[in-house]
Structure formats: C-alpha cells, structure tokens
Structure 1
Amino acid sequence: MTRPDATPRRAARVLLVDASWRVLMLRGCDPARPHHRYWFTVGGGLDSGETPAQGAVRELFEETGLRVGPEALGEPVHRDVVEFPFDGRWYRQEQDYFVLRVDSWEVDVAGFNEIERATVDAHRWWTADELRASDEPFYPPSLPDLIGALSGEELPC
C-alpha cells in the first residue's frame, strides 16, 4: 500500500561485483534515525533529464570513483519499488538495478555529497553467502539470491 504522503522518486543502482562475485555495499544511516544502520548498493536518485543508466554511472563515479559510460551497464537486471523514510520524509522509490563486473576496485569516496559524507561510514565487498548469513540489515533484501542467480550459483530448493 502506498502512503499518500510519499514523495515519488526515480533511482538507479549498480551492483558492482568483483571477480569473486562479491558485491560492493555501502553502510549508512538515516539522519533522522542515526542508530538505524544498514547496508545498501551503490546508486541513488536520478537528476532531471537523466536516464536510469546515466544516473547509475554518475552515482557510481560519485560513490566509488569508478568512471564508465552508460553503455557499460547494459539493460537493468532487476527493478523494484520501495517505500522508506529518510531524514524526516517518506519516499516511494522506483529503481532500476544494473550489474557491472570489475576484476577489483579500490573505492574512492571523494565524490560523496554532503549527506553521504554525514551518513555513510563504511563500505565492504560481500558474497551472497555472507549476506545470507548476516544479521545486519541490507537492501534490497533479495540481493543474495539476485547475486547468486547472476553468478550462476546453484540455489538450494
């Protein structure tokens, strides 16, 4: 059910995965609830006039220092709609997920904006199994199965 006060937002996210199929996640918090920490994929809201692929590569560069063109992403591998509070507002976010494989990458957060500098405190590469075993919140919750499916992992029945 959609909250009537939810602000609509379009976003694009990047599943940046290394040669071992580990996905890069950032850990942050909601400024209005700093005790609530969670892991999330690279990405964010689209700027006016941006396509999802354009927004995804802009966010990838800002949040990791990795620069690629939109054509490097191909088509989205996942889409969802989420509702969540952030900094005292409620959002309804439609988002596309792209996958980008790299051998490895040394994350550079110099491109963080003010809110990211204030709320993001860590980054980490996670395997699907590490995510499945973790008791830390992460988004999207289906990420371990998505990464497993993309990597060709045999999923248990």
Structure 2
Amino acid sequence: MSGPRDSYAGGVRKVARVVLLDPRDRVLLLHGHEPDDPSNDWWFTPGGGVEGNETRADAALRELVEETGITKVELGPVLWRRRCSFPFAGRRWDQDEWYYLARTTQTATRATALTELERASVAGARWWECEELARTHETVYPTRLAGLLRTLLDEGPPARPVTLDTEIV
C-alpha cells in the first residue's frame, strides 16, 4: 500500500496489482479500511507501489508475498490499467495501476511483511467466486471487478491491456 521507497512519476504513484486466481477460478481480495474507522471498508486486489528500480512485475510479486505470503505464483500478462485518486489515511493518493493476471495453487494466506499503515488498515484476505462478487453489496475496487473477472474467465486475457475508466473518489 505505501512506503517511503515508492516510485512516483509527476506526483502519480506507480502501482502493480495482482488478479490472483486459484484452481477454482476464485480471486483473492484483501479487506481494507480506514486506519481510524474500520466501518469505512472495502475489498481490493493485492499490490502496491513500485520501489526503487524494480519493474512493475517485480513489484507485483513482492507485494503479493508481503501481503499474502503466497510465493507459488505464475505471473501472466497485464490485464488492465487504471488511473485513480482517492482519500486514505489523511491524504490523497493519485495512482497509475497495472493489474497483472496470476495463478496459484497455494490458497492459504498469511501476511508476511505489512507496513505500519497496512497493519492498521488491512483486516484480512478472502477468496471470492465471480458470482459472489456480482451479488455483493460491499465496496470492491476496481468497481467493475465482477464484470471484468467474468469477461476474463469467459474470454481469456485481452490481447493488450484494457484501460479502465479513471476512478476519482
């Protein structure tokens, strides 16, 4: 989620996220909330800011291990790209996010290296079936994840990354 070593380009944080699927095509989402208000919560894909000279793919894999403990991963192509801007933990975050497809058979999760902010704002992880995502009334980011996941499962990865609508909260 955050760290002093994150890479910013013109004030925009470069982020790598992972759409991690298990053998049953469930997607792993983290449950997050405002550090001082657990009732203000949402679900989101694992991932975070690019650090130093690492590639986005390297950042995706590192963040996945730090946030979930999952190391047995087959990293696939970039599925989607999204610009977003949102308030969190007392400041505004402007991000350029790339979402990588990944598959794993390792379904047990255990955060191994959360930042102080993540420890205060991440309440756990859960595997979601596509149909569950489509039915939920909980907040999920990106906001159209259920439909995007359905298209991915039905049609496979896009030939080139799809640019999602900019989300400003």
Please give the range of the TM-score, normalised by the shorter of the 2 chains: 0.7 to 0.9
- Contact 1:21 1:147 (C-alpha < 8 Å) held by counterparts: no
Cα displacement string for residues 47-81 of structure 1 (whole angstroms, at most 9, x for unaligned residues): 12221101100101101112258xx4232011111
Q: 1:146-157 counterparts in 2 under 5 A?
A: 146-152=148-154
Figure out how many residues of one structure are paired with residues of the other and give that number. Answer: 146
* Alignment partner of 2:81 out of 79, 82, 88: 79
Q: 1:73-152 counterparts in 2 under 5 A?
A: 73-152=75-154
The percent of aligned pairs where both chains have the same amino acid is 40
Between the aligned partners of 2:14 and 2:53, the Cα distance in structure 1 is 11
SS in 2 for 1:141: coil
Cα RMSD, aligned residues only: 1.9
Moved over 3 A (4+): none
Unaligned runs of 5+ in 2: 1-9, 156-169
- Contact 1:8 1:92 (C-alpha < 8 Å) held by counterparts: yes
Structure 1 match to 2:3:
none
Letter in 1 for 2:132: E
Structure 2 match to 1:67:
71
Calculate the TM-score normalised by the size of structure 1. Answer: 0.85
Unaligned runs of 5+ in 1: 1-5
Choose 32-41 or 125-134, whichever is displaced more. 32-41
Report the alpha carbon displacement of residue 131 of structure 1 after superposing the two structures with TM.
0.8
- Contact 1:13 1:98 (C-alpha < 8 Å) held by counterparts: yes
Calculate the TM-score normalised by the size of structure 2. Answer: 0.79
